[in-house]
Every structure is written in structure tokens, then in C-alpha cells.
Amino acid sequence: MGKNLATKILEAHLAEGELVPGREIALKIDHCLLQDATGTMAVLEFMAMGTPRVKVELAAQYIDHNLLQTDNRNADDHIFLATAAQHYGIHLSKPGNGVSHQVHLERFGIPGKVMLGADSHTPTAAGLSMLAIGAGGLDVALAMAGHPFHLPCPRIWGVKLTGKLQPWVSGKDVILEMLRRHTVKGGVGAIIEYYGPGVETLSATDRATIGNMGAELGATTTIFPSDQRTREFMEAQGRGDLWQPLAADPGATYDQHDEIDLSQVEPLIACPSSPDNVVPVRETEGVKVDQVIVGSSVNSSFRDLMTVCRILDGRRVAPHVSFNVNPGSRQVLENVATQGGVMMLLLAGAQIHQPGCLGCIGMGQAPGTNQVSLRTFPRNFPGRSGTKNDRVYLCSPETAAAAGLFGVITDPRKLGDLLPWPEVQNPDKYVIDDSSVIFPLSEEEAEKTEIVTGPNIVPFPEFEPLPDDFSAEVILKVEDNISTDTIMPAGNKVLPFRSNIPAISDFVFEQLDPDFPKRAKEKGSGVVVGGENYGQGSSREHAALAPRYLGIRMKIAKSFARIHKANLVNFGILPLTFKNPVDYEMVKQGDMVTCPKLRELVSSGAVEIPVEVNGRKVITLLEVSDRERKELLAGGTLNYVRKGGA
Ligand code: MIC
């Protein structure tokens, strides 16, 4: 029986366990990716471990999120990260050099390597056939210290691609089609492996787009074969010597199947306010558009931007539209400039911003009240843009450009009346510029670099072990698909506190329930009750760490998203699920939850944890590994590791 590609890479990196879906395994990690919004905490955690130098083949710290320097705080974080990178042997990509995912593809990615990144969109590296997984900062810190990464063994979901995309349709429409079919929880517990004759029709950067937004399906990661298209991209980056072919064996089998005929995919759009609220663009035509943003974490490659340049060339965006371009990297911007694209954008009336994430995480670019914003970004969770009741749509660069020109949502195939389809190809040889990467120093030099810590960088808080008996009030009950953007908002106001847990905890559930932090602090404890897929979206561990700081020790939900569940365990919060989902309906905010002998139950290995909710017995499930139980008992992973575990 032939093996699929994901299994081959997993086998080659298996450090512990057996490849049985659902059972815990541990993987050897080759590359680590850090970005500044999650990276300051990850670096503080790494420092707390006392390891003198990173122990992976390559670690890269990107400064791409917190770019606006409205006071000392983000700038202090940048210098902290830069000096820590030098001290510990980490590559540093300076502010303005671009988004981690795009730069890693360009300069560091290698087919067949396993990467762990403190960002849920780490699977963008699928574009180069890497098995790249998003995780909380603490897990990435552990990997940098040489520990293998633990995760539940995913099932492998084969998606066969046939046919070829039609003009005006691109990679974004393929992943939106997956989201239309399978929703934001369809990929939970799976690695999505694309295979079949359609794969070779997609460029490395189109594959990267599909990998990036596999995170929106809840998937563990995505993988593509490494083929001639991968080779072309690596050769164009001057790194062809690192290419190797990788593919599934003939007749490989998968745990789950799907098939997409690329020739049948049409332009799609995700409507407010969820990435799976997908319809054909033609069904939303005519909606007036106020803002368009191309670029950021996804669809910010040379092909994506140059396609927009060609569409806008010699034309002007509609007068009422604010048209913004966020290049994925300095390299993308330099190559677009070399081919005349910058002038095309400027003369069309576009605003060109520095390479980086920017509005994608609410770092500026918030739309006005009631304004419609079309973005090529990966997510549109409520309020993520920074504006309350926002109306954010997600679409391809082609659809974004059409909306910019016509001022209303328009099926991009109508652009065919104005111009021939600009079938933009990635260059054969990119202009390459590594001037904004600081490479690691020798061990001797590195040791001499002092780490500069600004006043807003507060050491990691100390947490108590799990108590013997448990009693706390349900201080919040929420619905299905609550994202980490709702639990721990991002944006220009909150992001500068990512290295200051006491301060950032005042923003927990800010949009939904601004009194939550006060209530939790007054009571000194609390339980949060959630629906399905609780904690979907980003990898930000602050969505677990800050509630834990406020005294939350237990969350009970119908189900959890993978990264958030791991983050809860890492910070000593019990992630319990309802055995009988109807109990969710019964629990109310204000109810008391008690569980005498909780500690004993957790250490006994019991999966069923009976709790009393207002005197009524509710069976909850603690589905974690033995290792995770020990971490929970210790009050979190760092306590456990410090005691010699891991
Ligand atoms: C996101 O898209 O939400 C981010 C910005 O990439 C986050 C990281 C963060 O919260 O800092 C992610 O997905 O992990």
C-alpha cells in the first residue's frame, strides 16, 4: 500500500508515539518561526528555560506585526527581540522586511522539513512542501530548547486536484471553496494533503495561499508535493540546491477524501464575519465598497500584487474607494518596483504601505463606521479590523482589484471586458535583498550580546499548581466558534501589551463583555463555558495566559480548537468538554461549579470528570495525554518543565 506524503514526513520526524490518529505523538522540529506579537512571550519563556542557544537547525524571528511605533513600547519590543535573537542564535528579520510567512518561503523554507511557528498561519510554508504547524509560543520555545513537539496524531485528508483554474480565478478561490464545503471546523484534527494532476498547475505562491488558510478550516496543517513548480520557485530565489522532489507513493491511501476540479472553481468571497461564510462573488455584486486592502499575511506575493498592478495599469480606482496595498515582503516590493508595478499602483490612486501584517491584525487600517472593506486577508472575525460591527469580506486579489475599479463588489471575470487576462508568472530570478536579515553570530560573539529589556517587558507570571478541590462560578457563557480575537483582542491598542500579561489581561473579552476582567479579579476565580470549536483562529497564547492570570482554571465547552486547547493546558487551565452536549444548554452564567478531589481525579487518569453545577451532576471529559495531565497538575507546562519534566 503506497504511503501519502504527510505520513512519510511524519515518520521521518517521529520522536515519540505511533501514527494512529488521535493518539499523542511527538515530532522532531527542524525550523522554528517566531513573530513579534507572539514572539516576545515565547522568548521570555525560552529565557525562563535557561537554554544558552537554540537547538534547532534554523530559528527565525520576524518583526512584522507591531510595526506602528506610537510610543516606546513596540520599539522596546523590537530591540528586545533583536538582542535576544543575537544572544540565542536566531535569525532576525527587521521591521519592514515583511511578513514571516512570505519571507520564510523566500529565504529559508526547505521541502520536507518540519517547522513549528508561533503563528496559526505557519502552514503557508506548504507552498514549499514543508510540514509547518502553528502552535502557542511556549511550545515553540520548548522546540527551540530542543524538545520534540507533542500533538494529537492527525488524520490525513487527501484532496485530489484535477483540471486547471480559469482566467480571473486563483488560489484564494480554491481555499474559499474548501471553506464553503467544510466550514471553519471541517479540518480540525487533519493534515490536508493536496495531490493529483491539478497540483502542477498551481505555483508555489498559490499553494502557499491555500496552505495559509487551511488554518481557517481548523486543520493541523496542509502539505503539497515538492515538484518542478517548487524547484522553479527555489531556483528563482537562488536556493535551487536545497530543492528535492517529494510526493505520495502511487496508490497512496488517505483517511478522508475530497476532490476539486479546478476548472469548475469560480470567484468566491467570504462575507462578514467568518471565513466560512462563503458565496460566489456574483451573488454579492453591487454592494458598495469603501475600502480595499491587498496583501498582508496571505496573497501578498509577487504574483498577487503584480496581478493587481496589471489590472489597475492606466486606470484609476473609484473616487470613494480607499485602495491599500500591503506587500508581503521587501523582496516582493522590490520585484514589483523593478517591473514598473509601483508606478501603476501610484497612478491608479493606491496607497502603498510598508511590507507587514498591518490591518490584518488591526494594526491600523481600521474601516470607518458601517463601511464595507474587501480584503485579501485570511480572517474576518467580528471586530478583528479594530472597528465595532465591522463589515469585512475576504477575497482574491483579482476580486479586490475589480471592486477597487468599479467601487462595488464585482465578479472579476467582468474585467475581461476591459483587458486581457494578465496571466502573471513569478519571475525566473527574483531581485534578492537580504539586507534586512541579521544572521546569527558565532557562539562566542553571541554570548557577549546583552539582551535589552524595556520597562513594558514584564517577566512571565508564577502560577500555582492545580488545587485539591475546585469551586468557582461560571462567569461567562459564550456560543459556538468563539475565536481568540474575541477572547483576547489584537489591534493597535492591545498588541503593545503582548509582553505585559498583567496589563493585557484587562482586555480579555473586551468586545463581548468589558466587565469580564473586573468580575474575574473580584471573584479571584471563574469558569468559562463555550460552544463548539471554542478558541478557533490565531495561535496567540495570550488567549489562555491572560484568563489564567485573572484566575480562570477551568473552561467547559462542546469542543475546542487544537491550538487553543494546547495553550490552555500549557497555562494550567482544564479544557473540559460536555459528555452530553445538552448539558451546555442547562448551564447558566452565575451557576456555581464544584468538583471536590479534582486533583486526585486528574492524576488518576480519569477521562470522565464529574462536576456539580448548582447541585446537578454534569459529566465532563478531560481528553488529554498523560504528559498533559502532569502539566495541568503542575499548574502549567513551564512549572512542569522546570521540575525536570518534558
Ligand atoms: C492572526 O492572524 O491572528 C495572527 C496575527 O497571525 C495570529 C498571531 C497573533 O495573534 O499574534 C495567529 O494567527 O497566530
The residue whose C-alpha atom lies closest to atom 2 belonging to ligand 1 is 538
Listed residue (584, 603, 539, 531) closest to 565, CA to CA? 539
Take residue 607 and report the three cell numbers written for it: 477521562
* Count helices and strands in the chain by DSSP H and E runs: 23, 27
| Residues β-bridged to residue 593 | 472, 613
* Ligand 1 atom nearest to CA at 357: 5
In this structure, the strands spanning 58-62 and 131-134 are: unpaired
Q: pLDDT digit string (tens) for 594-617?
A: 999 999 999 999 999 999 999 899
Confidence check: pLDDT of 646 > 60: no
Residue 588 DSSP label: -
Confidence check: pLDDT of 460 > 90: no
**Average confidence (pLDDT) over 208-216:** 98
**Average confidence (pLDDT) over 509-519:** 97
High-pLDDT (> 70) share of the chain, %: 100
Q: What is the mean pLDDT of the chain?
A: 97
Identify the structural domains of the chain with CATH numbers, from first to last.
5-264 (3.30.499.10), 268-417 (3.30.499.10), 470-642 (3.20.19.10)
Confidence check: pLDDT of 645 > 80: no
Listed residue (119, 83, 103, 121) closest to 355, CA to CA? 103
Distance CA 134, CA 535 (A): 14
| Confidence category of residue 469, pLDDT binned at 50, 70, 90 | very high
Distance CA 555, CA 588 (A): 14
Question: How far is residue 248 from each of residues 33, 94, 252, 278, measured CA to CA in Å?
Answer: 26, 37, 6, 31
**What is the distance in A from the centroid of ligand 1 to the CA of 485?**
9
**What is the distance in A from the centroid of ligand 1 to the CA of 538?**
4
**In residues, how long is the chain?**
646
Ligand 1 binding pocket includes 538 (Cβ within 6 Å): yes
Q: Is-above-0.95 flag for pTM?
A: yes
Question: How far is residue 194 from each of residues 256, 260, 442, measured CA to CA in Å?
Answer: 12, 10, 40
**Average confidence (pLDDT) over 62-77:** 96
Q: pLDDT digit string (tens) for 129-161?
A: 999 999 999 999 999 999 999 999 999 999 999
| Confidence category of residue 643, pLDDT binned at 50, 70, 90 | confident
The per-residue pLDDT for 65 is 97
Cβ atoms of 119 and 33 closer than 8 Å: yes
Instruction: Report the interhelical angle of 562-570 vs 542-549 (nearest 10°).
Output: 40
- Give the mutation target among 33, 540, 545 for probing the ligand 1 site: most ligand atoms within 8 A of CB: 540
Q: Which amino acid type is present at position 305? A: L
Distance CA 262, CA 31 (A): 32
Distance CA 622, CA 122 (A): 28
The per-residue pLDDT for 45 is 95
Query: What DSSP string describes 253-280?
Result: --SEEEEEEGGG---EEEPTT-TT-EEE
